[in-house]
């Protein structure tokens, strides 16, 4: 889990049958579920979780650059609006995974010098960069909201204890 550069993401992910079964069991018992992109939701994370489950079973994960995949993407998925929504979903998912697997909550945007940093960055960034920055902030807010709802409904129970995590 500490080697994020080795996590195969999305299209082209190959999984052993025993890892897939363990992942299904993990999903059945998890309070905070990573459902992947469906409908209009651009949350993801199931690919990362599959890798985390594999590592928790004592297996590994890796990227193999010699393997090639042609990924056809519809034109609406390269528009600025879609990419902004995707960035928000990715940041939300990242914070949820960090909380779920490492117990680290996303910091409040208003803690410490958060407001000052946020205002500085909003003034500094321009155009699409500012919009992407705001998407990241929305991702933090969304993750905090999901975590608060999960905390209210039931305690998170780690189903498979990740190897090498504190």
Q: How far apart are CA 25 and CA 96, in angstroms?
A: 19
Q: ∠62-65-69 over CA atoms, to 5°?
A: 105
Confidence label for 144 from pLDDT (cuts 50, 70 and 90): very high
Which pLDDT band, with edges at 50, 70 and 90, does 6 fall under? Answer: confident
Give ∠ CA 7-5-73 in degrees, rounded to 5: 65
Coil, strand or helix: which one is 73? Answer: coil
Q: Please state, in angstroms and rounded to a whole number, the distance separating the CA atoms of residues 49 and 35.
A: 10
**Cα separation of 134 and 114, whole Å?**
14
Cα–Cα distance, 9 to 50 (Å, whole number): 10
Could you tell me the residue ranges of all domains in the chain?
Answer: 4-153
Would you place residue 1 in the very low, low, confident or very high pLDDT band (cuts 50, 70, 90)? low
At residue 75 the predicted structure's pLDDT band, cuts being 50, 70 and 90, is very high
- Residue 38 dihedral angles phi and psi, to the nearest 5°: -150, 145
Q: Which residues pair with 41 in a beta bridge?
A: 38
User: Nearest CA to 93 among 106, 110, 80, 108?
Assistant: 106
Q: What is the pLDDT of residue 155?
A: 46
112 contacts 67 by C-beta, under 8 angstroms: no
What's the chain's Rg over C-alpha atoms? 17
């Amino acid at each position: 889990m500490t080697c994020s550069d080795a996590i195969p993401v999305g299209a082209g992910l190959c999984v052993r049958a025993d890892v897939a079964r363990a992942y299904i069991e993990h999903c059945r018992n998890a309070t905070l579920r990573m459902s992947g992109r469906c409908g209009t939701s651009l949350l993801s994370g199931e690919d990362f979780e599959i890798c985390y489950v594999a590592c928790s079973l004592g297996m590994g994960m890796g990227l193999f650059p010699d393997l090639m995949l042609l990924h056809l993407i519809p034109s609406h998925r390269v528009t600025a609006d879609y990419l902004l929504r995707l960035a928000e979903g990715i940041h939300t998912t990242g914070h949820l995974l960090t909380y779920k697997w490492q117990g680290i909550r996303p910091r409040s945007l208003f803690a410490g010098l958060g407001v000052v940093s946020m205002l500085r960055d909003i003034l500094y960034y321009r155009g699409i960069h500012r919009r992407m920055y705001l998407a990241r902030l929305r991702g933090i807010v969304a993750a905090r909201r999901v975590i608060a709802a999960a905390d209210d409904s039931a305690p998170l129970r780690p189903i498979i204890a990740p190897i090498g995590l504190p």
